[in-house]
Amino acid sequence: MNILLLGYGKMGKIIGEIAESRGHSIAGKINIENKSDLDLLDPSQIDVAIEFSQPEAAFENISWAINHGVPIVVGTTGWLDKKKEVEALTLEKEGSFFYASNFSVGVNIFFKVNELLSKLMNETKGYEVSIEEIHHTAKKDAPSGTAITLAEGIIKNLSEKDSWNLAGETNSQENSVEITSKRIDPAPGTHIIRYKSEIDDIEISHTAHSRQGFALGAVLVAEWIPSKKGVLSMDDFLSF
């Protein structure tokens, strides 16, 4: 396959290396320095685009791919206020748009464990839930997209919670899941769910040791998506 890399930072470079090691070709490497080169590319020569750029560039990159009939796999977070626009454009153009806050298979198993635990905790009183996430200092958005996905899984199943807030915000409420974000090098990503009570604490966590799992997951999805249409997610890919 010919893969277009939209974003060529640390993740983009690892994705490119893994893609080439699996026999694919890189059709282009677009970042902030050569952004204008995007309009010089021939979309008919691109099988799929993988988007790991910056929040401020993601929407434009995604729109370009969908408007040009290029299936796109997106891992950038921090732009989700425009996700509904992207989904509507995908359906209008009969395109292929895949978003995941995290492409690691282990993290997606962790999402399911989190939802199961929140269902169990919904039947148990006296516990207060919180989320802590730790990433490297180059990560610009906070909380992480993965932490938001975890919070959404809790909110879906825990009747006393209906929103999330970033720790330190003045608008926090009792019915909100508090997320603490820390930026410490060289941490690729740690997410901790805690249920605290006067009697005991329950805690589950996921720690990534490198970016390899995220990058490989993105490439595997890129290999899978060309024959698919619509708005897609890791649940579709993993058949959870």
Sign of CA dihedral 116, 191, 225, 36: positive
Residue 103, marked binder: yes
Residue 206, marked binder: no
Residue 218, marked binder: no
Active site residue 13: no
Task: Select from 196, 84, 217 the least CA-distant residue to 130.
Answer: 196
Residue 35, marked binder: yes
Residue 125, marked binder: no
Question: What distance in Å separates the CA atoms of residue 206 and residue 34, rounded to the nearest whole number?
Answer: 36
Question: What distance in Å separates the CA atoms of residue 13 and residue 134, rounded to the nearest whole number?
Answer: 22
Active site residue 209: no
Residue 83, marked binder: no
Task: Select from 8, 9, 53, 54 the least CA-distant residue to 28.
Answer: 8
Residue 208, marked binder: no
Question: What distance in Å separates the CA atoms of residue 117 and residue 109, rounded to the nearest whole number?
Answer: 12
Whether 147 and 115 have beta carbons less than 8 Å apart is answered as: no
Whether 134 and 187 have beta carbons less than 8 Å apart is answered as: yes
Residue 65, marked binder: no
Residue 101, marked binder: yes
Report the chain's terminal Cα–Cα distance, integer Å: 27
Q: Which amino acid is at 174?
A: E
Q: Which of 84, 112, 125, 135 is catalytic?
A: 135
Residue 23, marked binder: no
**Both tokens of residue 224?**
């899978």
Residue 78, marked binder: no
Q: Which of 68, 139, 161, 191 is catalytic?
A: 139
Binding positions for (S)-2,3,4,5-tetrahydrodipicolinate are: 136, 145-146
Binding positions are: 35, 75-77, 100-103, 136, 145-146
Binding positions for NAD(+) are: 75-77, 100-103
Catalytic residue list: 135, 139
Binding positions for NADP(+) are: 35
